[in-house]
Structure 1
Amino acid sequence: MQFFSKISPNAATAQSSMRKIWDGLGLARAAACVFAAMIVAGCSDSASVANGTGSNAGETELASITFVKSDGTPLARGVAHTWYMTERDMELVSVDTLDGDGKMEIDVTLSGLHLVEACSGDSLSAMDWINFGDSTLQTTLVASASTSLKGVVTQNGNGAKGAAVKILDKTATTDDNGNFEVSGIPEGQHFAFVEGTIGTRVFQVHAVAGSAVEAVNSIDLDADPFILAEDFEQWETRRSLLGRTFGEGWWFVLTDSTLGGGSRLLNEPGLENLFVKDSDKGYAMHLVYDLDEETDGRFGVAGFALGDDFENHKSFAFFDLSDASAISFDAKGSGELFLQLTLRDSTGEKKFVKSEPIELTDGWARYTVATEELAEDLTAVNSVNFVVENDAEFYLDNIKIEGISPGKWPGLGKNF
């Protein structure tokens, strides 16, 4: 792990140590473990291996997904759909019937990220993005009550009447005020393909099950393409919104104390103490760093991995952000904040690049850092970090990758 784009003499020791951590474990894995140890005590690797040490050790198991109900019984004879996302559509690749154990085998002749969704009528459903390049995958998904998704489509500041909104195999048409509703879909992050006057656009939307508060998704057809990486509204697993959707995406929060430095995070231990509810913005991350002036190369960092930079791991290690125009986010607080990316260059060398310092203010403001200010080569980006080098308190929300359509994301992942 490296956290500064310019290594000063007094930071050299810290940088050398951070490189050893990164080289030994990989940024995402190391940071996730450090984060878990600091905040919730514990870190485990959830990757599954087909030929383990159990009763079936030595047997070759086919890559498969098992769907079960909340009580653990199989979603027997349910129907599974495999989808591939493009910028213009969610293309149906295959339809399979689950066996008596609720299992479907993965077609390993396919490659890349595909969405697998299974249902039992319109009552129970589950879905997840699966890397079809992993021939050892054995995973279980739990089906829950299917739900509905509501939204409003606007254009030129008004409701867009008659726009077709497609989510999976369901299609709705907006009413006079731009409102729509799609029913019988799994809860979680979805992608709405909206056919309007300017062609088809894809937007991230969220279906919430069993919520006492009705969630309405807003879709603005005038907005430039962007990917919402994090909004902290459904942050239960220490993963970013992108990570919860596509896999990986671990958040990490740490200081130079992991290397023996004297800096510390002043938030009380516990996940709930990293977040605040703002009446206007929903939930936001809140961090208070007390950095030790006597520590060479002092730092505090909060960031999330895009991939798992770990050579033996099956997931994508990096994502290609060449088409991204900027990284933007909402923030407020006191002190200076830097936006930083960790990446690999064309030679495979690990690098870290950061923005000019951002002076925070008491009120919420939108900050946009053009990618051309960070690096010329963004073909292999591993993480997005927010770094402080002196005492600081900051609130963070609504992190976006500008200039890339959500429909492109599954095709941007890279392995070694």
Structure 2
Amino acid sequence: MSQSVLEPEAAAARGMDLLRFATAGSVDDGKSTLIGRLLYDTKSLFTDQLEAVEAVSAARGDEYTNLALLTDGLRAEREQGITIDVAYRYFATPRRKFIIADTPGHIQYTRNMVTGASTADLALILVDARKGLVEQSRRHAFLCSLLRVPHLVLCVNKMDLVDWDQDVYNEIADEFTSFAAKLDAPDLTVIPISALNGDNIATRSEKSPWYEGPSLLHHLEHVHIASDRNLVDVRFPVQYVIRPQSTTVTDYRGYAGQVASGVLKPGDEVMVLPSGFTSTIAEIDTADGPVAEAFPPMSVTVRLADEIDISRGDMICRPHNAPAVAQDIEAMICWMDESAPLRVGAKYAVKHTTRTARAVVRGMQYRLDVNTLHRDETADELKLNEIGRVKLRTTVPLLADEYRRNRTTGGFILIDETTNRTVAAGMIIEAL
């Protein structure tokens, strides 16, 4: 089976369901092995890939085929037996297509975990049944909550090493459920598994007769994600203005981009920000021709009935349902730069949807201890992998929503203009 998968917008346009999920958890909890098992059990591997993994496993002296090698692609990862980078893998079943982000478990790679989970519909948090919940399990659960990942699955892995003891499973499940109650975790499922042996991965295992829930793959195939998308607030950031150079087409002006939220239909009255001009949608075009409606995450070209000056960075929305047009932003920041910390007074470039601006850090309200959820209100800087709430002032207004309402128009990145490196990911709490 080919490992290519349709892009999300193409899948949506063809009525195909796509689930993005991220793996999270502590070191050696078996995240890479679990992904390898999912790829193996869904027959999403090429023969030469499997042969290569078998050869490396034999060379290392493993008594089994180490499926973790399928995702740990960097040489340093294989040599150390850990995951460093975010590895994306693709597989499909007859019911659904999947994109997996295999994120690192080490604390020093928290930024990588944030990157992988920021676009996820679901997060798999793995826990070693022998160790129970550890600090990193709670950290990743909190980060998934902060990133508004709507579905959490706690996989109690390595159950074979505790003889499938139901009491061990229940203790971990109860502890995590009580912790998740403090977070914003609307949907939580707990599944006992053995990634190495494939128990409760693709099919239910006979080794856990006391477990009455679904297998992991069954849950991934059937979890309902359509209602997670915001179909109320129309947000269409303009990415590109299309003006064909053909002499036969002289009056075509289309605005291309990806629908961030809401539903667009021909005939709808819309407003363009920041100008505030209104018009109606004349037509919505795709690569396959006109469509009757557009919804997230489709990439389309919108044509309007009136000639309005619109350029990249503008946003099409409803006249009575518009995002905030704000230059003062309060946001949670995850700092990703190891060379220098974030400090009050520092200036950065901001990339928000298709809009670019410059910003200055006007203040820091607190630094958050991800482990204890304690707020340090005396902090004046954020170092690598630290998270805090800051106030930003931008040079031009951002067309923004709160992150909890819209992950696309509520998220942004900060860029160091001297190095052009992405130094932070931000989630807007309030646009003033």
TM-score greater than 0.5 by the shorter chain: no
Q: Relative contact order, CA 8 A, sep 6+: which one is greater?
A: 1
Q: What TM-score range do you get, normalising by the shorter chain?
A: under 0.3
Whose helix proportion is higher, 1 or 2? 2
Q: TM-score, normalised by structure 1?
A: 0.23
The structure with the larger Rg is: 2
Q: TM-score, normalised by structure 2?
A: 0.23
